[in-house]
Each structure stands twice: as C-alpha cells, then as structure tokens.
Amino acid sequence: MRPRTPATRGRAPARAAWAIAAALLVAVLIAACASEPEDPVFRRQIFTLGTVVDISLYDTEGPLAEEAIRAVEDVLNGIHRQWHAWEPSELTRLNDALAAGETAQVTHDTATVLRDARALAAASGQLFNPAIGALVHLWGFHSSERPAGPPPDPEAVRALVEDGPDMDDLVIDGRNISSRHPGVRLDLGAFAKGWGVDLAVEALRTHGITSAIVNAGGDLRAIGSHGDRPWRIGVRDPGGSGAIFASLETRTDESVFTSGGYERFFEYGGRRYHHILDPRDGYPAQHTLSVTVIREKAADADAAATALFVAGPDEFGSVAARMGVTHAMLVDADMKVYITPDMAERVRFEVMPVPEVVLVEPAP
Ligand code: ADP
Ligand code: MG
C-alpha cells in the first residue's frame, strides 16, 4: 500500500472535540499499521495550533523520534501562545499598544515574522493583508466558537475598509513596532501556521532527521522522501466533504498549503460567510472555494494561498506572477480548476468526473 498523508483539516477550535476524536481514531489505525514490521514510517499526532498536526518520520524511531516530536510540539505550542489573535499573547499586547498609539518592543521572532509578512503582503498587492485584524474581529472570527451571525452592519464594514490599514503602515525599527495608521490590528491567522511548520521542520533537521512530513491540518512541508520513492500527499475536496480531490508527489523539500472557505464559516439567512476576507471590500472573497500552492517555504506557501484565494480566478495569474508563484491551483465556485502549467504537471485528480481545467500562466 502506498502511504498517503491524508489532507484532513479541522482547524476550527469549535471542532476541537471532533478533531480529537478523529485523531484518536486515526491513532488507533496507525497503531494497527505500525504492527506491520516493514513500515519504516514513524507517525505521531499532536494537537496544537488549534488543529491536529501529523508528523511522519521516515526511518527514525525510538528515543530520537520521541525527542524530535517533543521539539516540534514545543515550537508549535510556542507559536500558538506568542501569536494567538484573540487569547492574550504577545500579538494581542502589541495590538493593544498600537490601538493606544504607542510603540511596543517585541521579541526578535515577532519582529522577524512581521517583516516577512510585510514583504509578502506588498508582493501580493495587499490581498494578503495581516493588518486587517479589526475586520476579522468585526466578522466574529476572533472566537473559538463558530460565529452565529448575522454578518456585520455594512456601514461598519465600509468604515474599516475605507482608508483601510495595511502592513506598509507598520514601522518596524529593530524590535520596536509602531503604526502610522491607527487602524492596524495584526492577525497572523493566514501566516503563522506556515511559519510554524517551517520552524518544526528546522527542529527535525536539528535532530538529524532528513525525511519527514509535518502536516498541520492538511497544510504541510515534506522533506526528503519515503525511502526510494517520493512522499505522496492528498489535497482535500474544496467542497469540504473531506474526500481526497487531488494528489501529488513532493520533491525533496516542498510545502503544500491550501486555503479553503470550508475551513471556517457561518451560515445566516441561507448564505454562507467564510473567514478569508477581501481587504478591498471587507467581505468574504467570492468566487473561490480553495487555493493550493506549492513553494519551498511553508510561510511563503501559506501567504500565497491566502492572496490567491482573495485574487479569485480573474486575477489568479497576475497575483501568482507578482508573488513569484509557479505552482498553484484555484477551484472556483463551480468546481472549475484554474491551474498554472507547472502545477498541472504535478497534480493528479482523484475525483470522477475529472474537473474542467483552465491553464493559466503566471503573467502580469
Ligand atoms: P485556512 O484557514 O484555510 O488555512 P488562511 O491561511 O487563508 O486559511 O487563513 C485565514 C485566516 O487569516 C482568517 O481566519 C483570518 O484570521 C486571516 N485572514 C482573513 N483574510 C485575510 C487576508 N485577506 N489577509 C490576511 N489574513 C487574512
Ligand atoms: Mg494562508
């Protein structure tokens, strides 16, 4: 049997109980598989970053594997504590300072992540915009519960969008952070998971591990290989059924990240409102069900997936070009697939009938 890392996602903390139950079930299945003596993959699931993180190590076991898993857990728990968007964290303290018009001193890590996020936001034309925390809050997504609705007052949305803040309003002077715009509230929900996966892989490498997957609820970085064959991974159904929609084999060091509207949403008055907001109008980005991106660094893949989700089919090629993304796939509201030629060469669709596919060159 060909091992496949299922792209199971379940990040909404409201679904935590479900996720833990599913994790236990999978753990039982893995325990059953582990009894096959020839299986060289050590798998462990941990619950952190509000999701199930699945770690697969090839040809590593025993105390070294346990120690490496603990290191990954420490790194990811640290990120969860440091950059949580609404539970007290370094980020909420920074947001409080920015709201008061003050300058705050942050850790070296936080200054670094903000600098990187700012560069990626600029490259995306501010479609990836981690400065719109106030808007995410207004929509009710700063909660461990699914928002009940109704959607916010259109006037309140308009007020936050007109002259809205972006990352270029942030002044990053070493570790001192201030803002030129009173409305900047940072939300790393579209970026911190990628950052964390990169750090987790670094932690594994520090332990001498060269072949592994860190899979945070379907978003993953794969290094090395599954012995003499590549790692094979699945991309989940953009409709949210949980089925595998497509699969691909990763090269020696690649991250595969998906932004999906099915990930967090609420329904009100017969309409669905999801958590990926278009900073230009303040509403959940229309026309897109999901975007999958392959890049080397998980943080880059995470930011690009969010930006291309907001870009939608019409601007998919131009935003991909701006961000230097060569491998991306967007599934629109009609399940039509927009895909870059390089990505098309890598992806195998696992659904019948095979979806309608439009090739899009990344081009300005
Ligand atoms: P997923 O949950 O599918 O991994 P993303 O990586 O796109 O999705 O992250 C979505 C989260 O990012 C939202 O919950 C919110 O906290 C934040 N967010 C929403 N819209 C944007 C945006 N346009 N730019 C940056 N962050 C955003
Ligand atoms: Mg993202």
Q: What is the pLDDT of residue 27?
A: 41
- Close Cβ partners of 65 (under 8 Å, ≥ 6 residues apart): 42, 44, 57
The SS3 assignment for 295 reads strand
Closest-CA residue to 211 (of 73, 61, 65, 57): 57
- What pLDDT tens digit does each residue of the chain (364 aa) get? 334 444 433 344 444 444 444 444 444 333 333 444 577 999 999 999 989 999 999 988 899 999 999 999 999 999 999 999 999 999 999 999 999 999 999 999 999 999 999 999 999 999 999 999 999 999 999 999 999 999 999 999 999 999 899 999 999 999 999 999 999 999 999 999 999 999 999 999 999 999 999 999 999 999 999 999 999 999 999 998 989 999 999 999 999 999 999 989 999 999 999 999 999 999 999 999 999 999 999 999 999 999 999 999 999 999 999 999 999 999 999 999 999 999 999 999 999 999 999 999 999 9
- Answer whether 107's CB lies under 8 Å from 82's CB: yes
How much of the chain is in helix, strand and coil states, percent to nearest 5?
A: 35, 25, 40
pTM: 0.91
- Find the angle CA(358)-CA(250)-CA(37) to the nearest 5 degrees: 135
Residue 330 CA from chain centroid, whole number: 15
C-alpha span between 275 and 287 (Å, rounded): 14
Output the pLDDT for position 6.
42
Q: 260 CB under 6 A from ligand 1? A: yes
Closest by CA to 338, choosing from 363, 355, 321, 352, is 355
Q: How many whole angstroms from 275 Cα to the centroid of ligand 1? A: 6
Q: Is residue 339 within 6 Å of ligand 1 at its C-beta?
A: no
**Among 129, 143, 187, residue to substitute to test ligand 1 (most atoms within 8 Å of Cβ):** 187
Ligand 1 atom at shortest distance from the alpha carbon of 11: 2
306 close to ligand 1 (CB < 6 Angstrom) = yes
Phi, psi of 235 (to 5 degrees): -110, 130
Whole-number Å distance between alpha carbons of 22 and 52: 9
pLDDT of residue 26: 40
Ligand nearest to the CA of 295: 2
> Between helices 90-99 and 108-123, what is the axis angle to 10°?
70
217 lines ligand 1 (CB under 6 A): no
Torsion 233-214-144-160 (CA) sign: negative
Q: Which atom of ligand 1 is nearest to the CA of 264?
A: 2
